[in-house]
Structure 1
Amino acid sequence: MSDDEPTPDGVLRLINGYWATGIIGAAVTFSLFTHLENGVETVAKLAVAAEISERGAQALVDGLVGLGLVEVREGRYRNTPQASAYLVEGSPTYLGDLAKLKQRHMGGLTTLAEVVREGGPLTDPTTEVADNPHWAQVVPAIAAQSVPAARVAVDVLGLAGAGELSILDVGGGSGIYSAIWLAANPAARSTQLDWQPINEIARGLLAERGLSGRFTCIDGDFHTVDFGTAVYDVALYSHIAHQEAPADNIAVFVRLWRSLKPGGALLICDYVVDDDRGGPAFPLLFASEMLLKSRQGGTWRRSDYRDWLVRAGFSDISFHPAPPATLVVAR
């Protein structure tokens, strides 16, 4: 085989991509990354600490080494910096619960070919209702993925030194943005609009961090609740646009533009693709998730957001990387 002839290795890794979901999901189930972080370095000791078979421990760490999440030297294992940041329990950016959630979702991909043929879900999506019990698992599990964008926003808007601010977080979920922003700015106040069961989760997080005195909630559906006029300095619309149709996003942006005080800013965080749909990789892959789970959602281009925001009344629009998402700022 010549040096420039392609090998099947890369394609085989992709075809067997579900192995990664399974391996990471099993590893966090048994707290392997946490044990490694605490200095448990050998397979035999990991098996004891995790209360699993030594053969199973070996298979998992082999897989984690193959995935680039664990390093090995002379029979001793340790987390890579990425694993330490995102897969060790107790980390503010812990994604282990999301890994376990995705492990349970793997079976849904078996219908993707037929969903592609039909152009949308084979049955009516039932998750987007207020009383779905899955929110108790999903909302905390996905919170950590918003931490990088929330921190980027602190820097982009200079929130820490902005003094008194009134913030509206539409569909705020876990309340993680409010938690980070209120901690950065002791003079700011935040209002979260979401369904009542989800707001209860957010109240718990803000109380845990001693910030509940500056945090309030509005229970309801953002499609119908009145945002008010010239009430807020900052409005946030995070990881919602991908599940909405273009016309629905424009309608919400119009209402958010009206809700802002003069000089106020709207922040949108989502998986945004380049105008030629050539990247970034994660948002492009996420498009299939929207095909499976929404009737009209998708991963929208920068030009889509720019067009929608201008039509809503905004004129100053900028894009800021917050991998794997993008933070859009509009004034």
Structure 2
Amino acid sequence: MEFDKGNVEKFRNETLELGYSFFKSKVLLTATKLDIFNIIGEMGLSVNDVAAKLNSDEDATEIFLDAIVSLNLLKKKHNQYFNTENGKEIFIYGKEMYLGDIIVLQDVMWDAWSRLEESIVTGRPARKPDMFQDDKEETRNFIMAMHNTAITTAHILSREIDLSDCKTLIDIGGGPGTYSVFFCKENCNLEVTILDLPGTLEITRELISNSNVTHRTKLIEGDFNKEIEGRYDAAFLSNIIHGEGEKENIALIKRVYNALNDGGKIIIKDFFLDDNKASPAFPALFSLNMLLFTENGRSYSLQEIKGWLEKAGFRGLTRMNIKLPRSASVLIGKK
């Protein structure tokens, strides 16, 4: 069978571009790690200014800053470098849409991904699967990174998920509490409980203290793989199941079922795979990330998750018709 030379050349060039794509990622990660965007701030700076603040080589700094400009992450005018208007909203400390913490976490991921070959051969994670709990600085960065990403979707889900018939909700492994705060803001009669590990909840307390719903928010220290205390009208699990193995998830979902009142609902937001487990691309790639960072975690197909829910006793399973970043989806079931 003859091949189409034009198609092969196109595929060849796209594959070469894919191989080089890490150039762009590493520029972003390094710019954030060196705090380039905050060094430049609201005013423009010259290469000399930036190099002086970094105590770096001027020639290398200029090459680096020009590379950042090439990605449209900075602007350059009259040999001065400036943050873009959009960049000021996502790179400058204190902004609501700040992304710096998740980019720092991506740099941690970079280190683990450099050992992907080893993990594929051994079947073991590239770093200790401690859920970033062993080091307080790592815990803080991880939870703040989760806050960075949750901000993107929390305002959407809080409007789209119907909690009007719920008085209580438990946010299982709720991390920064971002979703809980938005659920409370959208539902004035809702009280939420955030269940997570002690180290995580130290940061959660700080974050929710800045909201006006602290009087309707309760924090419980605990491990959702061991026990879920109390009874609730709804349970929310955002990006939880991909961190666990199938056996642990089956047990967790049964635990959630037992913690819900009759008619209560389980709400699972995660990266769902298609039945072939090779698409969409992000959930398939994220499975590798879980190989690198967890004992047994991976992305799961919608059918797998539905099977666990039905086995636990949940009925009326519905996948929300909503478009979220990185092919995330939401599945809801009722007790």
TM-score bracket, normalised by the shorter chain, equals 0.7 to 0.9
1:180 match: 182
1:27 match: 31
2:242 match: 242
AA aligned to 1:179 is: V
Secondary structure of the corresponding residue to residue 321 of structure 1: coil
Query: How far apart, CA to CA, are the structure 2 residues paired with 1:278 and 1:50?
Result: 46
Structure 1 residues 316 and 43, CA, compared in 2 at 3 Å: closer, same or farther?
A: farther
Query: How far apart, CA to CA, are the structure 2 residues paired with 1:154 and 1:104?
Result: 30
Any conservation in 2 of the 1:46–1:57 contact (CA below 8 Å)? no
- The TM-score, its normalising length taken from structure 1, stands at 0.83
Q: How many residues align?
A: 323
Query: How far apart, CA to CA, are the structure 2 residues paired with 1:214 and 1:14?
Result: 48
1:15 aligns with 2:16: no
2:227 match: 225
AA aligned to 1:280 is: P
1:329 aligns with 2:305: no
1:304 aligns with 2:309: no
1:283 match: 283
Q: How does 1:310-321 map to 2 (within 5 A)?
A: 310-317=310-317, 318-319=319-320, 320-321=322-323
1:93 aligns with 2:97: yes
TM-superposed deviation, 1:205:
0.8
Structure 1 residues 300 and 71, CA, compared in 2 at 3 Å: closer, same or farther?
A: farther
TM-superposed deviation, 1:202:
0.7
Secondary structure of the corresponding residue to residue 94 of structure 1: coil
1:214 match: 216
TM-superposed deviation, 1:35:
6.9
TM-superposed deviation, 1:244:
1.0
Mean Cα displacement is larger for which, 251-260 or 194-203? 251-260
AA aligned to 1:226 is: I
Query: How far apart, CA to CA, are the structure 2 residues paired with 1:119 and 1:283?
Result: 19
AA aligned to 2:50 is: A
Choose the corresponding residue for 1:202, options 201, 204, 229: 204
Percent identity between matched residues is 25
1:116 match: 120
Secondary structure of the corresponding residue to residue 114 of structure 2: helix
Structure 1 residues 21 and 304, CA, compared in 2 at 3 Å: closer, same or farther?
A: same
Query: How far apart, CA to CA, are the structure 2 residues paired with 1:184 and 1:59?
Result: 47
1:146 match: 150
Secondary structure of the corresponding residue to residue 284 of structure 2: helix
Identify unmatched segments of 5+ residues in structure 2.
Answer: none
Secondary structure of the corresponding residue to residue 298 of structure 1: coil
Structure 1 residues 132 and 53, CA, compared in 2 at 3 Å: closer, same or farther?
A: closer
Structure 1 residues 186 and 274, CA, compared in 2 at 3 Å: closer, same or farther?
A: same
Structure 1 residues 28 and 122, CA, compared in 2 at 3 Å: closer, same or farther?
A: closer
Secondary structure of the corresponding residue to residue 179 of structure 1: helix
TM-superposed deviation, 1:61:
4.2
AA aligned to 2:302 is: R
Query: How far apart, CA to CA, are the structure 1 residues paired with 2:149 and 2:19?
Result: 25
Structure 1 residues 102 and 157, CA, compared in 2 at 3 Å: closer, same or farther?
A: closer
TM-superposed deviation, 1:143:
1.6
TM-superposed deviation, 1:156:
2.0
1:166 match: 168
CA RMSD across the alignment: 3.2
1:251 match: 251
AA aligned to 1:152 is: I
Structure 1 residues 147 and 275, CA, compared in 2 at 3 Å: closer, same or farther?
A: farther
Identify unmatched segments of 5+ residues in structure 1.
Answer: none
AA aligned to 1:121 is: P
Any conservation in 1 of the 2:42–2:83 contact (CA below 8 Å)? no
Any conservation in 2 of the 1:309–1:330 contact (CA below 8 Å)? yes
TM-superposed deviation, 1:38:
3.2
